[in-house]
Amino acid sequence: MMLCKLSLKNIKKSMKDYTIYFFTLILGVAIFYVFNALDSQTVMMNVSQSTEELIDLMMTMLSGVSVFVSFILGFLIIYASRFLIKRRNKEFGIYLTLGMSKRKISLILFFETLFIGIISLLVGLGLGVLLSQVMSLVVANMFEANLTKFAFVFSSSSCIKTIIYFGIMYLLVMIFNTVSVSKCKLIDLLNGAKTSEKIKLKNPYVCIIIFIISCIVLGKAYHMVTVEFLTLQDVTDIMKPIIMGAVSTFFIFWSLSGLILRIAMSIKKFYYRGLNSFTLRQFSSKINTTVFSTTIICLMLFITICLLSACLTMKNSMNANIKELAPVDVMFTTNMNMDKYYDKYRRYGYNDTQIKNSHYTSKEMFELFDFDIISYLKDYIEVNTYATPDLTLNHTLGSRLDSIRTQLPFLAYDTMESIIKISDYNRVARFYGIEEYSLNNDEYMIVADFKSMVNVRNIALENGEVINLFGHTLKPKYKVCQDGFLEMSSQHINTGIILVPDNVVDEEYLVQNHLIGNYKTSDKEKIIEIENNINELGKNPKANEYLLPSGSTKLDIKEATTGLSAMVTFIGLYLGVIFLISSAAILGLKELSESSDNKERFKMLRKIGTDEKMIHKALFRQIAIFFMLPLILALIHSIFGIMFAVKILEIFGNEQLLPSIITTAIFIVIIYGGYFLITYYCSKNIIREKY
């Protein structure tokens, strides 16, 4: 009973000094609950079956991410406990001096961890339940669902999951504390606060050489993920710049730990101004002993910035793309004349009868299945695409082929180009509401919106490469690809369509027919019914003889896009916020521990006449430098990391990149900046003179 009272007293005493520890625990519990309770919010929403399936998939992925998050939070809690125990070395030494056994000290820590766990779980779960009600509105908005009625929701499954995961974490902390106390020596505990970390000045020449080499290696890694991006073909190639960047980051911090103080000491006017000498020596002492942890924090911040920026860009771009790239209700495509390239289509799984009967347009195919698709459409158009083995990417690139093949060996250069009559494309353009074009009889042009292929094709177009098609020689009208597309999507997937004059095309090379239209009704339920009826046609026995048109609908694209963007957003936010909190909390706890150890040093400054204003200014600068150093390098990494992410996600577009970066910056300012301010004010409280 006495040990319980002592534990509660210790918690009450530590609460003020270690606000960061309790704040992080509560925030961790709340975030863990909120993201694992997302599925409970769907009970108040009217969503379609496909959306429900997407939400189930999202929750499955979030459950897997939660396991990873629990490891991060577990490491954070154990890391924090290490500093808390170090902070109380003298207290434990006094306990041992008074005759208390190590077993009883372990029991005190056991009860403290137990009480802290219960308090943080209760407060965190309470906060999580409140935040989850707000999150329900976010989920409803993201899935564009109507809230039938707002109801207060408590997820018992998420609550149990949170208690189990954090219970295991606290159990590990108890074991860690017991082991730590059992290894303690009385002399070390009593003199721990007096022990000063020796500043070992590293050889400046060695530091300079390592710093230069690290910067060169880091520059090479940057070059690989940006300029040499397209040559990275497998996981091994991608891992090389990642490993190079991580190792270079470590050695940059290692070399800086030996250079910063040396450089400052050589600038005597700066070094001896105010308390700069004290601040820099304190910082140098810390950075010398925390190179590895500073590296980990820097990399976590880098991942956070890139992850949040990329995920938010992807979400915003995909949602914006729906209006632009899915401008009509439906598009049906039917492969035609497949017997002309029999072997090719046989490899795709079509049977011989389907290939033989592939001479019907989309509308005619529906008629064969006794389904009048036109009766459901208020307006529609039909257009054809053509292809020939005599016009592949090899031919389009012309004299530039060899140089491009050397740089991009993995492209399928023997793929037949898609060809459309200029009049047909303009009919599509009018229907879509996009730009129309014109051509002379001896000209061709390429429309594309997939940026990497646009760049490749522009090399040939700038060179004025001519093409020979169906006995006609055509020159490019434009020196660059023009923006345009045919297939509906939520992504920029058009790698290139060749537009040619109508009189050039040979109808024998017709390969696809497209039926594009808008439904008569705008009622979602009726549209779903129509599309379900079309899907049922696949069960018709005629499907073994005739190939049904493949459909791409605005509704399907919208729901798939919404589900994917929501999944990416929630996972990105979950990991990003946890990484950001962990990075800031580790720095904050380290600083609080240092402030506790440095109380005597600040007391000495007061004795020699330093006023409180100067002391607080020195403390602020010391903490600011410690927080800013990993953040600055993380920001530099992020510039190239985001450039790499943009190339990976270019099919979604990067028009929304700037708003996403601004949002990410706001997250960093609020969370990372908030931890910095809490650390400063708590540290100021720790070093305050007690009267």
pLDDT in tens, 460-506: 999 999 999 998 999 999 999 999 999 988 788 899 999 999 999 99
pTM over 0.85: no
Q: Pairing between strand 467-469 and 472-476?
A: antiparallel
- pLDDT at residue 49 in the model: 61
- pLDDT at residue 233 in the model: 57
- pLDDT at residue 51 in the model: 64
User: Among 146-150, 246-250, 645-649, which is the least confidently predicted range?
Assistant: 146-150
Confidence class for position 654, pLDDT limits 50, 70, 90: low
Is the pLDDT at 4 greater than 80? The verdict is no
Is the pLDDT at 350 greater than 90? The verdict is no
Confidence class for position 353, pLDDT limits 50, 70, 90: confident
pLDDT tens per residue across span 371-396:
999 999 999 999 999 999 899 999 99
Q: If we measure between CA atoms, which residue out of 417, 421, 388 comes closest to residue 504?
A: 421
In the block, residue with structure tokens 């028009």: 655
Contacts of 110 (CB under 8 A, 6+ apart): 174, 177, 178
Q: One-letter amino acid identity for 509?
A: Y
CA 515 – CA 551 distance, rounded (Å): 9
Mean pLDDT of the region 343-354? 71
Q: Which two tokens stand for residue 186?
A: 């009385």
DSSP 611-659: -HHHHHHHHHHHHHHHHHHHHHHHHHHHHHHHHHHHHHTGGG-STTHHH
- pLDDT at residue 216 in the model: 93
- pLDDT at residue 437 in the model: 95
- pLDDT at residue 3 in the model: 64
User: Among 112-121, 133-142, 305-314, 536-545, which is the least confidently predicted range?
Assistant: 133-142
Q: How far is CA 118 from the centre of its chain?
A: 33
Is the pLDDT at 690 greater than 60? The verdict is no
pLDDT over 90 percentage in the chain: 21
- pLDDT at residue 196 in the model: 47
Q: Which two tokens stand for residue 377?
A: 């459409």
Is the pLDDT at 192 greater than 70? The verdict is no
Angle at 566 between CA 564 and CA 568, to 5 degrees: 70
Mean pLDDT of the region 657-668? 86
18/407: higher pLDDT? 407
- pLDDT at residue 285 in the model: 67
92/249: higher pLDDT? 249
**3-state DSSP call for residue 335?**
strand
- pLDDT at residue 419 in the model: 95
- pLDDT at residue 691 in the model: 39
Q: Which two tokens stand for residue 478?
A: 């434009």
Mean pLDDT of the chain: 81
The answer to whether residues 550 and 366 touch, using CB atoms and an 8 Å cutoff, is: no
CA 386 – CA 420 distance, rounded (Å): 6
CA 120 – CA 490 distance, rounded (Å): 43
CA 613 – CA 616 distance, rounded (Å): 5
Cβ atoms within 10 Å of 278's Cβ, excluding its own: 19
In the block, residue with structure tokens 């694209």: 557
Report the Cα–Cα distance between both ends of the chain, in Å, rounded: 33
Is the pLDDT at 344 greater than 70? The verdict is no
Mean pLDDT of the region 397-414? 85
- pLDDT at residue 567 in the model: 78
23/343: higher pLDDT? 23
Is the pLDDT at 645 greater than 70? The verdict is yes
Q: Which two tokens stand for residue 86?
A: 């170090």
- pLDDT at residue 484 in the model: 92
Q: One-letter amino acid identity for 496?
A: G
Is the pLDDT at 30 greater than 50? The verdict is yes
- pLDDT at residue 570 in the model: 82
